[in-house]
Amino acid sequence: MQSVRMDFVVFKMISIIALFLMGSVENSKDINEIKLPTNFKPISYRLNVTTHLEDKFMFEGVVDIQMICIEATDTIVLHSNILKIDKKDVVVTNGSEYVVPVASVSFNPWKELMYVRSTVNFKTGDKYVLTIPFMGKITDALLGYYKSSYVDKENNQTKWLAVTQFEPADARRAFPCFDEPALKAKFKIILGHKKGLTAISNMRKINESESLSNPDYVFDEFEESVPMSTYLVAYMVSDLVFFESDSQDGEVKFRIIARKDTANQTEFAKKAGSSILKYYEDYFDEKFPLSKQDMVAIPDFSAAAMENWGLVTYREIALLIDPDVAAIDNIRSVVSVIAHELAHQWFGNLVTMKWWSDIWLNEGFATYVAAYGVNFLYPKWNYIQLKAVENYLSILKDDSLKSSHPLSVSAKNPNEIAKIFDTISYTKGSFLLHMMNMFLGENTFKQGIRNYINKHKFSNAEQDDLWNSLTEEAHRQGTLNKNLTVKLIMDTWTLQTGYPVLKVVRDYSADTVTLSQERFLTIKSNGTDKKSCWWIPLTTTTSTEANFNQTKAKSWLNCENNNLTLPLAKDNEWVIYNVQMAGLFRVMYDTRNWMGIISTLNDPNKYKTIHTLNRVQLIDDSFSFSQNGDLDYGITFQLLKYLKHESEYAPWLAASDGFTSIYELMQRTTDQALFQNYMQRILSPVYSRFRNMTTKLNDFEEIRFKNLIIAEACRYRINDCTEQVINLFSKWMNTTNPDQNNILPVELKSVIYCQAIKYGGVAEWDFLWERYKRSNVASEKVKLLTALGCSSDTWLLNRFLNWTLDNSIIRKQDAITVFYYVTKSDDGFLTAKNFLYSRLEDIANYFNNRGSAMSKYIRLIGSRMKTNEELEEIKMFMIRTYYYIQDGLSIDDTVESMNINIEWMSKFYRKIVNHLI
């Protein structure tokens, strides 16, 4: 029977993936199939957990859940996953002495559900207490209640800790619970652990007592929490050290918790976190509701950070800063993650989405507001604008695929929930909030947000609630026409997949301009998406006005007037729409208008009359329109000539993105050197400005600009760049005590490490590997680790990849990072592909058969493939290995990305070559 069943499962999987590859599968499951029934609502939990580390790596405990019956039923349904529960120990009472008779306890492991059925009906309005003892393993899966470790450098001993990671749906791995975001409750947590270790949780510790049954153990009791969702519950048992910031009476107590030998790396986070928390209290006009805020640096952590209320957990690289070695980009990274997680204390924790389909309300807002938090600490960085540029470039690329998804999307199971924590939720959500701020105005937008938080705090909301608060405030302040609502406008952006291209066609004889829209796709859809329609805020200026300060929409292009003709004076050399990238859309002009813009850009005395952000959009749009065939590459390359006098970072960032897309397609072709020579000519003028690698700069944008140009110059082998790198690295290798005397320019370490490894051999690789093993600074370790993937020696890369699965020095959280950088290197693609093909089962086992991890590997390989033969190869590979992937969305993404590459190679490769000569 077992073999027959397995054959059926394999056949079914092959059939499913074959349908995915043909693009014909729809998931027919109703979302209600995996949501809990509404018969019960939890009120409070009393959670008692004892943690056993080192000898057992397990936990045991008991949870008492007080709940109210909403609808009469004889069965309590809640979540439980991979827990050991003795059915006979499950008890239900009415909150006093009366024990409700339990007829049966059963489990559905596929749906991760637990059923407690009574012999009598539970009565509507009555309160009950469900008591469940449980046990579980502390695994290394980086989710649920998992283990992490580090080596104490004083005695060379391995130290273990246990910590939670429950978002989105893994609290059920640690204790039975109603594991849905809308089912908020208060939590009283008691943690048992061995003496010598410390326990922390969301709330402040109020009591410690000796264990009556085991003299080596103590119990720590924490004050009852505010109402919160289960995914925000957090606790940890460890020997990590506390570093507390100074605080005034009544202020929130702020602590950084980390390994003791990182003490010198905690000061920055203490000050930054405390300052940003106060800033948010003012921005949201709502006090932080807890008495303390802990931020913990975890040696092993799957994401960058997690916003657990009162106990935010981080990767070490996302929290710790060593002032002696930190580059400004490390500081930017840490402060932006801190700002993101602390923004969640309001957006996500205080007000929580009702269901995961609106996760963008959490992640989009945290991403958006984090830029304001960073800007508060570093007002000279121009960070709000720079972050808007990064978000804009990122989302326009990712959301141009047919296989993309709406911002608000149905998530039907835990795997699907995990997959919507992506660029759409974070980056598109953030940019659409930026767009609303632009068309509503800062005052209206901020006050609308404050009203929303005040109305829904300690509760749950959905996007319509946000639309209502913003509409009410906009109508009150008169910043939105009474005939319009935010919902009418924004539903077109959140409920539809993708974004529009605004088509601008001028009639030069009639002095008019006609506007229309359609969905932008990297591969055109033969008209099937023309029905898509958005409310597009229209902002514009002309060569005569050149006024780029008016970013508030004066009119809209919508579904009722989707072919709008307006007057435009003939003496305007050009017209530009979407002033300062105020909206999330591309703009396609007629050829004459493009040429007028190009004429201005190519004049070194006039190009700055076009705003920096619009130069960014013009560069990115021209690359993208040429990629899908809407704009001749000849026009794009004429526009790009202006870069020889472009002096700002953001337009060069956009140009670098566009050039990289072409370069990756030309890798492994006979014309790769031709493109390299073209890039040397393009880069040389701006490289001459930054060529001295040892010159120190202080301005944030200038530092990032230099880093970008040096990296590009070395990538495209400008001789002087390569020579400087090799000489600097050689000097460092020959210094006494290189770990303490790193003579390399701090801001350029990543570039220098990578290039030295690329052009070096075993000696350079082993030298950098030794530095990695000895480093105690997470940001430095990541720079070293990623650079090791730049090698040109196949056997070194192969060994490195295999070490990600077999070498205890490389942490599980970094395995995909190594694979990414090997895949992206000039010489690593084939090595990475062969590694994936030969060790797929080992990779899957290493990540506990988590499809999301496997799909990342496959997507990275697929993104670099560009022939029909490679497409057939990867299709067959995915069919054979679907058991390990189990992710139709990622399969669709991979195949579509490959089709884009194949189509580009077929249509444009030869044309590009002609422009490079």
Rounded Cα distance, 757 and 768, in Å: 8
Sequential DSSP letters for 638-705: HHHGGGGG---HHHHHHHHHHHHHHHHHHTTSTTHHHHHHHHHHHHHHHHHHH--TT-----HHHHHH
CA distance 854 to 861: 11
Distance CA 134, CA 172 (A): 11
What sign has the CA pseudo-torsion 289, 290, 292, 296? Answer: negative
C-alpha span between 484 and 471 (Å, rounded): 8
Identity at 137, one-letter amino acid code: K
| Residue 617 structure tokens | 């959009």
Beta-ladder partners of 537: 556
User: Peptide bond preceding 685: is omega within 30 degrees of 0, i.e. cis?
Assistant: no
Residues 234 and 202: beta-carbon distance below 8 Å: yes
DSSP code of 424? I
Describe the crossing of helices 749-759 and 762-774 by its angle, rounded to 10 degrees: 140
Question: In the annotation, is 341 catalytic?
Answer: yes
Q: What are phi and psi of 74, to 5 degrees?
A: -110, 5
Q: Which helix (H) or strand (E) holds 114?
A: strand 113-122
User: Measured between alpha carbons, how far is 391 from 396 in angstroms, rounded to an integer?
Assistant: 8
10 Å CB burial of residue 481 (0-12, 13-18, 19+) is exposed
Alpha-carbon gap, residue 593 to 572, rounded angstroms: 9
* CA–CA separation, 139 and 498 (whole Å): 39
Burial of 563: CB neighbours in 10 Å, binned 0-12, 13-18, 19+: exposed
The secondary structure of residue 196, as a DSSP letter, is: T
Catalytic residue selected from 167, 221, 316, 341: 341
Q: Which stretches does DSSP call E strand in 520-647?
A: 536-538, 540-542, 555-557, 563-567, 575-577, 586-589
Tokens encoding 559: 């579904």
Rounded distance, CA 430 to CA 428, Å? 5
900 phi, psi to nearest 5 deg? -60, -45
Amino acid of residue 242: F
Residue 787: in which H helix or E strand, if any?
helix 778-788
Task: Indicate the pairing of strand 253-258 with strand 305-306.
Answer: unpaired
Distance between CA 258 and CA 301 in Å, rounded?
A: 13
Rounded CA separation 369/383 (Å): 12
Residue labelled with tokens 């709940």 = 67
Question: Distance from first CA to last CA of the chain, Å, rounded?
Answer: 66
Residue type, 681: R
**Residue 737, Cβ neighbours under 10 Å: how many?**
7
What length is written for the chain? Answer: 917
Q: Nearest 5 degrees, angle CA 331-CA 335-CA 340? A: 150
Q: Work out whether the CA dihedral 130, 131, 136, 138 comes out positive or negative.
A: positive
The answer to whether 394 touches 328, Cβ cutoff 8 Å, is no
Distance CA 358, CA 408 (A): 5
Question: Among residues 286, 395, 423, 408, which one has the least CA distance to residue 343?
Answer: 286
Active site residues: 341
